[in-house]
Amino acid sequence: MKIIILSDLHFTVEGRPIIGIDPVGRFDQALEHARHMHPDAVHYVLLGDLAHLGQNRAYRALAGRMATLGTPYTSMLGNHDNRANFRAAFPQAPNDGAGFVQSVLDTQSDRLIFLDTLHEAAEPHHSGHLCPARLAWLQAALNGAGGRRVSVFMHHPPLPLGFPGMDRIALNNPADFWAVAQGRVAHIFLGHIHRTISGHINGTSFTVFKSPAHQMPMDMRGADSSVSVAEPGAYGIVLFRPDAIVAHTEDFTLNLYSDHDSASQ
């Protein structure tokens, strides 16, 4: 099974750029690249921060594009998102029964769990949070895996990654997450950081993906979480094999495709 992951889209309205980059144009380029190069992908995941300012028009623009995709997809929320505005544009989005945008996707061998870490009242601002209701839902999702290998998708990392500014606004209650998930999750897929990062914690491997638009600088000393740089845009490609989970990142702005590339793939 192959899935495509697009994280931190940061849709703006009226063509507003972010550090000189048009995030909507970049998303269009990423989506076209992924559709052309990976027509065998069976699912897409939008891994949070869909709209830069949580605006209705930004979500409507994104919804219009996803309506033409022709492949199933799952939308998730990040710290820049507005849950009510998102639901107005994506009425078919998952609902866990408590109002959160959470769901599971099962195959014969795998269970993919999509967590909602957005908490508008979180402290510090822009950090993520898993309230008791969401932790209980996660517990039930893990209990219902039925022997399947489990992967969790969440916008906010449940661990520090070495960037002081971003670590300050990661998931603000990671101990609660690990109390439920430790020893039960094979892999975690993350966004939020705008960098390609991988590692291992508490018996679980993880992958962080870059944005199709702007990236965070490789500064492991600064405390500012709002600085961005115009590095190449990227999306993720994940292969679920019986014996492995393999995560790739595609810097699509550096790797323009051609018909010959697609035919030889």
DSSP string, 83-135: HHHHHHH-TTS---SSS---EEEE-SSEEEEE-----TT-SSTT-B---HHHH
- Domain with 260 in it: 2-264
Low-confidence ranges of the chain (pLDDT < 70): 256-265
Task: Tell me the per-residue pLDDT of 11-65, one tens digit each, with 9 for 90 and over.
Answer: 999 889 999 999 999 999 999 999 999 999 999 999 999 999 999 999 999 999 9
Residue with tokens 């899935």: 3
Element at 149 (helix H, strand E):
strand 149-154
Q: What is the CATH number of the domain that holds 168?
A: 3.60.21.10
Closest CA to 159 of 123, 205, 114, 119: 205
The number of distinct structural domains making up the chain is 1
Give residue 194's region: left, alpha or beta (phi > 0; psi -120 to 50). left
pLDDT of residue 265: 46
Closest CA to 9 of 20, 19, 23: 23
Residue 155 half-sphere exposure toward CB, CA atoms < 13 A: 31
pLDDT of residue 179: 98
pLDDT of residue 89: 97
Bridge partners of residue 135, in order along the sequence: none
Element at 236 (helix H, strand E):
strand 235-241
pLDDT of residue 123: 78
Q: At what angle do helices 56-67 and 23-37 cross, to 10 degrees?
A: 20
Structure tokens given for 18? 């972010």
pLDDT of residue 264: 44
Which amino acid belongs to residue 35? R
**38-42: long-range contacts (C-beta < 8 A, 24 or more apart)?**
38/2, 38/4, 38/237, 40/2, 41/2, 41/3, 41/4, 41/71, 41/237, 42/1, 42/2, 42/3, 42/71, 42/72
